[in-house]
């Protein structure tokens, strides 16, 4: 009788992530979902103040090409003490730029754990899951979880006409439209 060979474990699939800080708390985001990382100062001259009732987390909008990006303050979004932030993550496939305090490190994650039931309301939209790094459990954010379709509709209604916004190119320079 032949004994079946033991199944070879498949190598752990890894995903590159950026671990970032907001008010001393660590979060992670897939590096594939971040189009670019900018200093807050490189966007400050081109951003325009915006005020949408009920959306304290968005105070500025910037125009990139033919679309607008809403700058979400991560501290306000996660209900942490206010932080002015120093870096902006321009997120792919969204209309969101995320204002954070800084990057802790870039690394690989090999396991994404499902959210426990204690994450029960809007947090279920904010996070993809949890990962363990260096003996710490870190929430992995969902790039599409910062602004809901309803939030975007409110922001679009409060925004000045797109042609009135200065255009910022990938290098951070303002361009003439």
Per-residue pLDDT of the chain (177 residues; tens, 9 = 90+): 666 666 665 556 899 999 999 999 999 999 999 999 999 998 877 788 899 988 999 999 998 878 889 999 999 999 999 999 999 999 999 999 999 999 999 999 999 999 999 888 889 999 999 999 999 999 999 999 999 999 999 999 998 776 666 676 655 554 434
**DSSP-derived pairing of the beta strands 136-141 and 58-64:** unpaired
> What is the per-residue pLDDT for 11?
59
pLDDT value at residue 44:
72
Edge to edge, the sheet with strand 102-109 lists: 102-109, 15-22, 25-30, 136-141, 127-133
- DSSP-derived secondary structure letter, 9: P
Distances (CA, A) of 105 to 16, 24, 57, 58, 91: 11, 14, 25, 26, 18
Distance CA 37, CA 72 (A): 14
């Amino acid at each position: 009788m032949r004994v079946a060979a033991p199944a070879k474990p498949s190598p752990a699939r890894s995903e590159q992530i950026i671990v970032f800080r907001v008010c001393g708390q660590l979060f992670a985001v897939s590096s594939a979902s971040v189009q670019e990382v900018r200093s807050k100062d490189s966007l400050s001259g081109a951003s325009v103040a915006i005020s949408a009732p009920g959306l304290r987390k968005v105070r500025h909008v910037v125009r990139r090409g033919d679309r607008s990006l809403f700058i979400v303050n991560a501290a306000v979004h996660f209900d942490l003490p206010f932080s002015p932030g120093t870096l902006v993550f321009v997120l792919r496939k969204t209309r969101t730029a995320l204002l954070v305090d800084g990057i802790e490190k870039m690394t690989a994650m090999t396991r994404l754990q499902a959210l426990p039931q204690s994450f029960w309301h809007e947090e279920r939209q904010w996070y993809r899951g949890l990962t363990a790094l260096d003996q710490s459990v870190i929430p992995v954010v969902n790039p599409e979880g910062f602004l809901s379709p309803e939030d975007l509709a409110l922001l679009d209604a409060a925004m000045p006409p797109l042609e009135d916004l200065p255009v910022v190119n990938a290098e951070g320079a303002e361009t003439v439209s």
